[in-house]
Amino acid sequence: MLHTARITATKRTIRPLVSLATTRRFLQTTPFRHEEKTIKIANQTVPAEAPADVSSQSTMDLFVNMFDRGPNVGVEVITKDGFVLSNNVQIRTPLVLLNGSAFLWQVPQDAFQFDKPISLDAFKIFQVASPKPELVLLGTGKNFTPIPPSIREYFYKLGIQVDQMNTKHAAATYNVLAEEGRRVAAALLPVESKH
């Protein structure tokens, strides 16, 4: 057993010597060449670093939608006597939201009651608006109140769909549809009526 261990040890010590001798011979016979390594850039038109004065602007930043009116004005908060709009304007009267803008609406606070019919002149803004909305949401105050058939017929003749709900739901629905880019308008009464 001792004899086998010596043979194994001898083989291990000889191998590195042979490898080392071969490497020395190769280095002595091969002339030394200093080769410069150059890095090739696939796209040489683009510098490795952008100049400091060039801003990082994408191609899409250069295109502007000239018909975009900017952010739509929506209802952020409904107070007891009015509204706080997304541009931080507080309004304490009935309100019309149309084509991304807010308008004060001169109607009685109980405008949608059957016993006190509202004049159709209060809705003339929707007749002259351009572009006309696809849908008008009528916020009837704190509680849902059905609108008179004459109002529904007026909007039908204008080619505008109309839906009525309480003011809280009408404002929330308007905000969602306006954010989606739909042509929607809202005519909102405050939650608490002033008598």
Q: Tell me, yes or no, whether 153 lies in a domain.
A: yes
CB 178 within 8 Å of CB 128: no
Q: Does residue 110 have a pLDDT over 70?
A: no
Q: How far apart are CA 44 and CA 171, in angstroms?
A: 56
DSSP 3-state assignment of 110? coil
Q: How far apart are CA 108 and CA 186, in angstroms?
A: 16
Q: How far apart are CA 82 and CA 94, in angstroms?
A: 7
pLDDT value at residue 118:
78
pLDDT value at residue 44:
55
How many structural domains is the chain composed of?
A: 1
pLDDT value at residue 108:
74
Question: Which residue's entry shows tokens 């105050």?
Answer: 141
Q: Tell me, yes or no, whether 10 lies in a domain.
A: no
Q: Does residue 57 have a pLDDT over 90?
A: no
CB 188 within 8 Å of CB 77: no
Q: Tell me, yes or no, whether 107 lies in a domain.
A: yes
Global confidence as pTM: 0.62
Q: What is the mean pLDDT of residues 17-29?
A: 52
Q: Tell me, yes or no, whether 130 lies in a domain.
A: yes
Q: Tell me, yes or no, whether 83 lies in a domain.
A: yes
Q: Tell me, yes or no, whether 39 lies in a domain.
A: no
The parent domain of residue 146 ranges over 75-188
Mean pLDDT of the chain: 76
Secondary element (H or E) of residue 29: helix 2-29
Specify whether the backbone of 139 is left (phi greater than 0), alpha (psi in -120 to 50) or beta: beta
Q: What is the mean pLDDT of residues 118-128?
A: 89
Secondary element (H or E) of residue 195: none
Q: How far apart are CA 77 and CA 55, in angstroms?
A: 39
Q: Tell me, yes or no, whether 68 lies in a domain.
A: no
Q: What is the mean pLDDT of residues 95-118?
A: 80
Q: Tell me, yes or no, whether 96 lies in a domain.
A: yes
pLDDT value at residue 133:
95
Bridge partners of 77? 84
Q: How far apart are CA 50 and CA 123, in angstroms?
A: 57
- CA triplet 155, 157, 158: central angle to 5 degrees? 65
Q: Which residues touch 80 (CB under 8 Å, ≥6 apart)? A: 190, 191, 192
**146-179 pLDDT tens trace:** 888 889 999 999 999 999 999 999 999 999 999 9
Residue 135's CATH number: 3.40.1230.10
pLDDT value at residue 63:
61
Q: What is the mean pLDDT of residues 94-108?
A: 90
